[in-house]
Structure 1
Amino acid sequence: MNNEPQDNQTSTRAGRKSGRSRRFHPWRWFWGIIVLLLLVIAGFGAVAYHNINSASDKAYKSAGINKARDTKAVLKDKRPISIMFLGTDTGALGRTEKGRTDTIMVATINPQTNKMLLVSLPRDTMTDIAGYPNQSPAKINAAYSIGDVGTTIKTVQNLLNVPIDYYALLNMGGLEKSIDEVGGVTVTSPLTFNYEGASFVKDQTYHMNGSTALKFARMRYDDPQNDYGRQNRQRLVVQALFRKSISVKTVLNPSFLNSISSESQTDLQSGDLVKLAQNYRSATKNMTTDHMQGQGQMINGQSFEVVSSSEKQRVTNELRKSLDLSAKADE
């Protein structure tokens, strides 16, 4: 994942990718953790496998819907798969409410082309919520709070006409716990600021516990780059966490794995992870990112991102191509 896009937005699509790409990075750590689990299963032996198997069992939860296709057959036949990643703030700063999925990404992994694609959907995208016509149109991030994970999957499938094979949901409370479990992370601050009692100086390096790291990653309004700056700091934290978490000592630690499983939810079972480790792992080294571009509009007193038909079709085509599926109009 070298040659990462720059931060500044321009009017071109490439420029838009550059500005929006920061939205991807905070949640790359979750994919990093999945890759870590796959590596453990593939190479660290029986003890590690037992720990991973136990953790994956705790995190498992069915989406409660009939999938668009036979996902077990897709994995067995080594065909390209899709995984939807969802992020919530539940569990962070003492929050316990269900909340909305303010991070929504669709990842495709193609073992034939040996490539992975990660597409971000704006959380305020105006769309119909699957199964809830009386509450539609609404923001896409409300699908989870109105219904559940299955509702979000069906809503995204309807929006983009792309099958969602699996999902993974993570809350920010898991980030704090995971950092504490690995003994903290070391991060260099890109700017000087104070936030909720914590102080940071530009170019100074800090060893942070989970609470401090969350404060470092959450500040937004005093950053000259606003949300993009926040995403950059979140990226620094999760990269530091990943560097710490790839050690054999860590992956053999049930407490660390439990800290992940207790704050996440997925319908990927241990057997699915084994197949991903065996057949899909190398594709994760060749990741490209994109986003669906909307235009901000105030509608009935609410701020929405309205996505044009041509932009939806572009994203549909991109995702379907990456899944080796024929072109199809978005619906």
Structure 2
Amino acid sequence: MDQNTRRDKRSTKKHKHLGLKITLAVVALLVIGIGAVFGMMWNQTQSTFNKIYDSDGTKHDTTIKQKKPFSILLLGADTGADGRISRGNSDTIMVVTINPNTHKTVVTSVARDTLAEMVGTKSLNVQKLNAAYNIGESKMAKASVKKLLNVPINYYAAINMGGLEKIVDAVDGVTITSSMNVTFDGITITKGKHHLNGKQALAYSRMRYQDPRGDYGRQMRQQQVMMAVLKKLATPSGITKYSALMKTLEPYLRTDITLDDAMKLATDYRSNLDNVSSKQLTEKSAMINGSSYQVPSTETLQSVSDELRTQLGLSKETLSNQNTRLNKLNAAFFNDESSTTYNTDGAVTQYYTNTTY
């Protein structure tokens, strides 16, 4: 079994419409959070921003500066909780494409357990997509998503779970309405309306196994908390908290978007918030080497790739990667609705935290 994640082996039925609902909180976090919030840093020092900025050693992308269509890989890492101090796995993976010409913004969610090639390792390494950030940081995460969907990934933004707790406390808590009883890490949030502090909001956002929707339900609760934070920041009193929020985010947020680019997001791309849609990479549950994965069909991958490339003003291309090659060997898996066994012929490797790539 992969050591990067210990997953429930149960095959959970997809709740298709959940992922198709627009996640305004995510869009706001990117376009407002990375744009307007960073744009409010007029009185912040460059050294403060330098603690957040991380190019990961790659050449800076100038797409935003040129006011062209671009993509941001949004990563929610599982660090900052339970004593974790490493960068961790990216348990939230979303590709946000923003086109200033059409004024459209599209949020495409990809399951963390998606079978994918880890691009950048010395030898072939195929496992859960959320491991890419842990193995090779943002550089590998961007390259792996790029290879999976055949679309350029211009920028990234990563925030960890510890940051969520600090953000909520920085805005003096948030008010949410829970549709169910939520218990996690010794904290219980009963069904109904509650004002949560940071620790409570973190517990509310992290619970997964009690939710009949599984990870999809957890994603919705995370978005609910972030939406509550952003609503408070949009109020007159909330504006006064921007400075404290940015200081709070320093240890928890990393991005390769520069301060100048962030300010352009807050001005040149603001109209994109008026035309937002949400997509989800639909996948099929599979058991591989005793661990639960999500596997997208070649047809689904091609369709999502075509949509994203069109959104970015690029021509469509026939997708060819490790997923499409493995899918060709597993035609029977997709034809049999009851089948959960996906054959990788040894392509899926064990994940070792101390391995050097």
Whether 1:64 aligns to 2:57 is yes
1:159 alignment partner in structure 2: 148
Whether 1:239 aligns to 2:227 is yes
* Alignment match of 1:210 (pick from 183, 192, 198): 198
Distance in 2 between residues matched to 1:159 and 1:84, nearest whole Å: 13
1:31-85 deviation per Cα after TM superposition (whole angstroms, max 9, x unaligned): 436514533676x6xxx51238665332100032357xxx31x223321111111
Distance in 1 between residues matched to 2:113 and 2:183, nearest whole Å: 29
Distance in 1 between residues matched to 2:26 and 2:46, nearest whole Å: 20
Distance in 1 between residues matched to 2:189 and 2:33, nearest whole Å: 30
1:294 alignment partner in structure 2: 283
Give the TM-score taking structure 2 as reference length. Answer: 0.78
**Contact 1:33/1:242 (<8 A) preserved:** no
2:18 alignment partner in structure 1: 19
Whether 1:220 aligns to 2:213 is no
1:120-175 deviation per Cα after TM superposition (whole angstroms, max 9, x unaligned): 11212222211225351221111122222101111111222111111101101111
**Contact 1:37/1:52 (<8 A) preserved:** no
Determine what percentage of the aligned residue pairs are the same residue: 37
* Alignment match of 2:254 (pick from 254, 265, 274): 265
Distance in 1 between residues matched to 2:219 and 2:51, nearest whole Å: 29
Distance 1:50 1:199, change over 3 A: same
**Contact 1:170/1:265 (<8 A) preserved:** yes
Q: Which amino acid counterpart does residue 38 of structure 1 have in structure 2?
A: G
Aligned ranges for residues 60-209 of structure 1 at < 5 Å?
Answer: 60-66=53-59, 71-72=61-62, 74-203=63-192, 205-209=193-197
Moved more, 222-231 or 135-144: 222-231
Distance in 2 between residues matched to 1:196 and 1:76, nearest whole Å: 44
Distance in 2 between residues matched to 1:300 and 1:201, nearest whole Å: 38
Q: Which amino acid counterpart does residue 18 of structure 2 have in structure 1?
A: G
1:281-324 deviation per Cα after TM superposition (whole angstroms, max 9, x unaligned): 11023211111122222223332222222111111101000001
2:332 alignment partner in structure 1: none
Moved more, 186-195 or 305-314: 186-195
Q: Which amino acid counterpart does residue 122 of structure 1 have in structure 2?
A: A
Greater helix percent: which structure? 1
**Contact 2:31/2:270 (<8 A) preserved:** no
Distance in 2 between residues matched to 1:238 and 1:40, nearest whole Å: 14
Moved more, 238-247 or 263-272: 238-247
**Contact 1:109/1:284 (<8 A) preserved:** no
Distance in 2 between residues matched to 1:37 and 1:83, nearest whole Å: 11
How far did 1:198 drift?
A: 3.0
Distance 1:322 1:92, change over 3 A: same
Q: Which amino acid counterpart does residue 234 of structure 1 have in structure 2?
A: Q
**Contact 1:52/1:257 (<8 A) preserved:** no
Distance 1:96 1:135, change over 3 A: farther
How far did 1:29 drift?
A: 4.7
Distance 1:52 1:186, change over 3 A: farther
1:173-222 deviation per Cα after TM superposition (whole angstroms, max 9, x unaligned): 1111011111111122222344444333323x222110011122222223
Distance 1:255 1:310, change over 3 A: same
**Contact 2:286/2:294 (<8 A) preserved:** yes
Distance 1:293 1:41, change over 3 A: closer
**Contact 1:110/1:322 (<8 A) preserved:** yes
Q: Which amino acid counterpart does residue 28 of structure 1 have in structure 2?
A: A
Q: Which amino acid counterpart does residue 264 of structure 2 have in structure 1?
A: K
* Alignment match of 1:32 (pick from 24, 29, 33): 29
SS of the equivalent of 1:217 reads helix
State how many pairs are aligned. Answer: 308
Distance in 1 between residues matched to 2:162 and 2:111, nearest whole Å: 22
1:5 alignment partner in structure 2: none
Distance in 2 between residues matched to 1:94 and 1:21, nearest whole Å: 34
* CA RMSD between the two structures: 2.7
SS of the equivalent of 1:265 reads strand
